[in-house]
């Protein structure tokens, strides 16, 4: 059966937020911005595949559009004991998040959160308590792992609760990791979340997200890149 630490909240991806910069910036100083690559991760718990985290990108007349889909299902004796689903459609312009529509189903508890740029702010409305708040333009959300700029952030919007929460990140060094059966050079960052979500994320030399290990709801979740 599921362990007692398995509460209904921590499966959202933990990130960092604050002043926005261009989509992806290489860990090498002075590197130019590049178009991010589509990402598809298997989410593993204790070695078991429990879900997927997919991020897709497209360029439109309005800027960069990002689609994120997270689907987690924990099964016990072939019965789904826990499910988490989150689907987001975002618009980024000049490296800043300007619009987002997010729906979440946390084991039956459903919520919707909307973000819209207004002047120098982002208006945020929704979440499980239907909150309304304004945060500085350039703030990111807790699904923005794909954007290396998150390591320069100091707060982020928790999409499920529609509130601002603090987070710090530090560079933990260069490593060689295995991705898709090949060894690649990557930069590792450790994130410490005020809300209790902590872990590590890795980016390749071009600034693409390639790996994640997060401690969420007391559980260690590994993000293994599929494509």
Q: How far apart are CA 85 and CA 106, in angstroms?
A: 7
Q: What does the DSSP assignment read for 169-213? A: EEEEEEEEEEETTEEEEEEEEEEEETTS-EEEEEEETTS-EEEEE
Residue 152 has φ and ψ, to the nearest 5°, of -100, 5
Query: What tokens appear for 48 in the block?
Result: 């078991």
**Predicted confidence band at 11 (pLDDT cuts at 50, 70, 90)?**
very low
Question: Strand 198-204 vs strand 63-76: parallel, antiparallel, or unpaired?
Answer: unpaired
Is the model more confident about 101 or about 217?
A: 101
Four-residue CA torsion sign, 98, 37, 202, 210: positive
Residue 147 has φ and ψ, to the nearest 5°, of -100, 110
Residue given tokens 């975002």 in the structure block: 90
Torsion of CA 71, 56, 140, 15, to 10 degrees: 50
Residue 10 has φ and ψ, to the nearest 5°, of -75, 5
**Predicted confidence band at 69 (pLDDT cuts at 50, 70, 90)?**
very high
**CB of 4 closer than 8 Å to CB of 144:** no
Q: Point out which residues pair with 73 in neighbouring strands.
A: 83
pLDDT at 19: 37
Q: How far apart are CA 84 and CA 163, in angstroms?
A: 19
Residues in the chain: 227
Q: What is the pLDDT of residues 14-61, one digit of tens each?
A: 333 333 334 443 333 333 356 799 999 999 999 999 999 999 999 999
Which among 71, 57, 55 is positioned nearest to 143, based on CA atoms?
55
pLDDT at 188: 97
Is the model more confident about 214 or about 4?
A: 214
Q: What is the pLDDT of residues 130-142, one digit of tens each?
A: 999 999 999 999 9
Looking from the CA of 119 toward its CB, the CA atoms found within 13 Å total: 5
Q: What is the pLDDT of residues 128-174, one digit of tens each?
A: 999 999 999 999 999 998 999 999 999 999 998 899 989 899 999 99
């Amino acid at each position: 059966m599921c362990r007692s630490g398995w509460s209904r909240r921590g499966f959202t991806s933990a990130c960092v937020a604050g002043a926005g910069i261009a989509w992806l910036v290489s860990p090498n100083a002075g590197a130019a911005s590049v178009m991010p690559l589509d990402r598809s991760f298997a989410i593993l718990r204790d070695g078991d595949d429990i879900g997927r985290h997919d991020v897709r990108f497209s360029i439109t007349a309005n800027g960069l559009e990002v689609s994120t889909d997270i689907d987690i299902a924990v099964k016990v004796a072939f019965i789904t004991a826990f499910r988490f689903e989150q689907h987001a459609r975002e618009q980024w312009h000049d490296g800043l998040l300007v619009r987002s529509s997010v729906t979440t189903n946390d084991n039956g508890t459903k919520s919707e959160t909307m973000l819209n740029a207004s002047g120098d702010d982002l208006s945020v409305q929704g979440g499980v308590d239907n909150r309304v708040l304004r945060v500085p333009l350039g703030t990111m959300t807790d699904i923005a792992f794909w954007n290396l700029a998150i390591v320069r952030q100091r707060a982020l919007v928790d999409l499920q609760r529609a509130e601002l929460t603090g987070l710090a990140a530090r560079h933990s060094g260069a490593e060689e990791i295995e991705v898709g059966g090949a060894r690649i050079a990557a930069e590792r960052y450790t994130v410490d979340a005020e809300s209790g979500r902590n872990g590590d994320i890795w980016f390749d030399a071009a600034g693409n997200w390639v790996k994640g290990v997060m401690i969420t709801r007391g559980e260690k979740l590994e993000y293994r890149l599929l494509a």
